[in-house]
Amino acid sequence: LAIAWTFGGDSAAPVSAGSYEVVAEIDAANYVGSATGTLVVAKAAATVVLENLAQTYDGAPRRTAATTVPAGLAVDFTYGGAETAPTAAGTYAVTGTVQDANYAGMATGTLEVAKAVATVMLEGLTQPYDGMPKSAAALTDPWGLAVDLTYDGAETAPVAEGCYAVTGTVQDANYTGSAWGPLVI
């Protein structure tokens, strides 16, 4: 017996993922009959490999990338559950999900945005004795970053004549850096 098939109203079998109403009708002079059902073509599995997961802060959003197998599939990313790529230094959970009509796949990873290196320049390293504490000063590039100063490892500026090791260390969420120099009173 000959059977005529239609898939969602089309006589050609579907090639794309989706659900299709299937109708089969007997095409014979002495017989009649039909049946209906649903054909489900599942999405094929795609492989997703996350890239660019180690970056450095520069003030711009830090986006990841991905390659897929098969190649060229669109991938949407979330960073800690948000669609907006992070800007600040830190660690962020990343999920890359394939967005394609015929393929499904995802990958997870961790985006590490490292602190950028700032330059620290110490000033006021030679001062006369007058019985008052003598503090060094620090400038940074980029300008205006907070710097903690220590004198021979202590936070208190020295008073007495002598030579003291000054260390200036940047204290910032997005930058790291330090400098050393001798303070002579």
Quick: pLDDT tens for 71-92. Answer: 999 999 999 999 999 999 999 9
Residues in Cβ contact with 19 at an 8 Å cutoff, skipping those fewer than 6 apart: 38, 39, 40, 41
* Alpha carbons 69 and 17: distance in angstroms, whole number: 17
Q: Are 83 and 64 in contact (CB under 8 A)?
A: no
Average of per-residue pLDDT values in the chain:
97
Q: How far apart are CA 67 and CA 75, in angstroms?
A: 9
How much is the average pLDDT of 96-120? 98
Q: How far apart are CA 42 and CA 113, in angstroms?
A: 37
Query: What pTM was computed for the model?
Result: 0.81
The pLDDT of residue 29: 87
Find the mean pLDDT for residues 11-34: 93
Asked whether the beta carbons of 122 and 141 are under 8 A apart, the reply is: no
Kindly state the average pLDDT of the residues 140-151. 98
pLDDT at 28 over 90: no
Cα 108 to chain centroid distance, Å, stands at 11
Please check the confidence at residue 161 and state whether its pLDDT lies above 90. Answer: yes
Q: Are 119 and 177 in contact (CB under 8 A)?
A: yes
Share of the chain above pLDDT 90, in %: 96
First to last CA, the chain: 108
Exposure string for 112-145, b = 16+ CB within 10 A, e = fewer = ebebbebebebeebeeeeeeeebebebebeeeeb
147-164 burial, b for 16+ CB within 10 Å, e for fewer?
bebbbeeeeebbeeeeeb
Task: Measure the CA–CA gap between 110 and 104, rounded to whole angstroms.
Answer: 21
Per the CB < 8 A criterion, the answer to whether 92 and 114 are in contact is no
Q: How confident is the model at residue 117 (pLDDT cuts 50, 70, 90)?
A: very high
Q: How many CA atoms does the CB half-sphere of 78 hold within 13 Å?
A: 10
